[in-house]
Structure 1
Amino acid sequence: MKILALDTSNQTLAIGIMEDHKILGQLQTTLNKNHSTTLMPALEDLTQKISIKPSDFDRIVVAQGPGSYTGLRIGVTTAKTLADTLKIELVGVSSLKTLAANCVGVTGWIVPIFNARRQNVYAGVYQWLDGQLQTIVADQHLSFEQLCEKLQDQSVYFVGVDVADFQAEIQKKLPKAQINTIPAWQYPNGITLAQLGALAQPEKDIHAFLPDYLKLVEAEENWLATHEAGAESYVEKI
């Protein structure tokens, strides 16, 4: 099975192409956040270099979230369009789980985090059990203080480039916690995403597939604060 994996959920652009257990090609950039203009040219360039046609793919795997609202929409929309056009399978994988899966050989709880601003984070808790990465605490949006409360008395391993934003608090509140120092593990990897997607069940309804934001955009939160729930839609119907 040939798999195309795409992650534009945060600053990193990651693309991975695999056939069964063989890596055919991959691309990763961590500086350019303008995925709307870089994703498709990067994908076209990579597939041409390894002589793969879009029609060769059997499954598309995409980082479903959480992450940047714009980045998620770009990745999910691209993956849905390709899957629908090519009539192939679509799989969504947690963006946080993709980070956690980098940490091969780590025992205890693996905690990938994204900075959600205002001392909040997107975080989940994962652990390797019998060779499989299992979800211990589901991905959620919460304050960093709340996250630390959940992690008390546990063997914890933090991963993700945004961990640096909270390093002082981690050392203060969770002095026994480990912080990843392997640079390659700090960023989403297209091949890791493809491997996770190979094990997941494909979506039954491609058109109903949506990003997993975990939090409403600020404009929608403000709108809901002044409107009765269910009375009318936040999105204007024309």
Structure 2
Amino acid sequence: MKILAIDTSNDCLGIALISEEKIIGEYITNIKKNHSVRVMPAIERLLSDCETQTSDLSKIVVAQGPGSYTGVRIGVTIAKTMAWSLEIPLVGVSSLAVLAAAPRYFTGYLCPLFDARRGLIYTGLYKYENGVLTNVLEDRNILASEWAKTLQSYHEPILFIGNDVPIHKDTFQVTLEEKAIFAQIPEQNPRPGELGMLGKNLPAVDVHSFTPNYLRLVEAEAKWLEKQERTND
């Protein structure tokens, strides 16, 4: 079994090839460049270096969002196209879960986040229970200040993970004080190998109806709906 994992949901571009026994190869960059022109060459290079043909693939796992509207859409579109053309299963995994998956050593709560601008973040609360990553509070789009208040009721330490954590670090430190722990730089990038492992045993979704999980309307859609509401008043 060989699984291809694709993550273009944020600035990090991640591609991985995994098997039942190991992560065969990973490609990760953390640069603000157009994923649409880089993702297919990255896939081709990784498969070539790992001496794997697309016909050898048995499943596609994609980071379904949240994150960059354009980035999520690119990854999901490519994953759907490959799964449909190769006639293999497709699985979607939360982009936040991918971030939360790596720090298995941490016994408290795991809080992955992506910045969503204007004080908002994409986030959720996770925890490893008996070796399994569990979603304690569902993924959401929320003000960082409100999220910090929500987390006050949890008594164990909380590890904040993600390249955008420094943007909101002060908010969490002020509200949560010593409960707020911050991941080290090597842990901030979501690893595509973790994405593949998370999706390895998940049931396949319907390729045609599978859609990104944006967690909120894009700005253009929100403005359009607001305009329609004013017109109908």
Q: Same fold (TM over 0.5)?
A: yes
Letter in 1 for 2:210: F
Residue aligned with 2:44, SS: helix
**Corresponding residue for residue 11 of structure 2:** 11
Distance in 2 between the 1:105 and 1:23 partners? 19
- For 1:73-88, what aligned pairs fall within 5 Å after superposition? 73-88=73-88
**Corresponding residue for residue 158 of structure 1:** 160
Structure 1, 91-100 or 170-179: larger mean CA deviation: 170-179
Unaligned 5+ runs, structure 1: 232-238
The alpha-carbon deviation at position 32 of structure 1 amounts to: 3.9
Q: Contact 1:61 / 1:93 at 8 angstroms: preserved in 2?
A: yes
Q: Percent identity, aligned pairs only? A: 44
**Corresponding residue for residue 40 of structure 2:** 40
Q: Contact 2:113 / 2:121 at 8 angstroms: preserved in 1?
A: yes
Q: Deviations along 1:50-94, whole A, 9 cap, x unmatched?
A: 110001000000000000000001000000000000000100000
Question: Which among 200, 208, 213 is matched to residue 202 of structure 2?
Answer: 200
Unaligned 5+ runs, structure 2: none
- For 1:1-238, what aligned pairs fall within 5 Å after superposition? 1-154=1-154, 155=156, 156-203=158-205, 205-227=206-228
The alpha-carbon deviation at position 150 of structure 1 amounts to: 1.1
Distance in 2 between the 1:48 and 1:73 partners? 25
Q: Deviations along 1:184-219, whole A, 9 cap, x unmatched?
A: 21011111100001132210x101101000000111
Residue aligned with 2:164, SS: helix
Aligned length: 229
Residue aligned with 2:169, SS: helix
Structure 1, 20-29 or 58-67: larger mean CA deviation: 20-29
| Cα RMSD (Å) | 1.5
Distance in 2 between the 1:182 and 1:169 partners? 18
The alpha-carbon deviation at position 23 of structure 1 amounts to: 1.9
Distance in 2 between the 1:147 and 1:21 partners? 38
Distance in 2 between the 1:4 and 1:11 partners? 19
Letter in 2 for 1:78: I
Q: Deviations along 1:1-24, whole A, 9 cap, x unmatched?
A: 210000000000011101112221
Distance in 1 between the 2:32 and 2:55 partners? 28
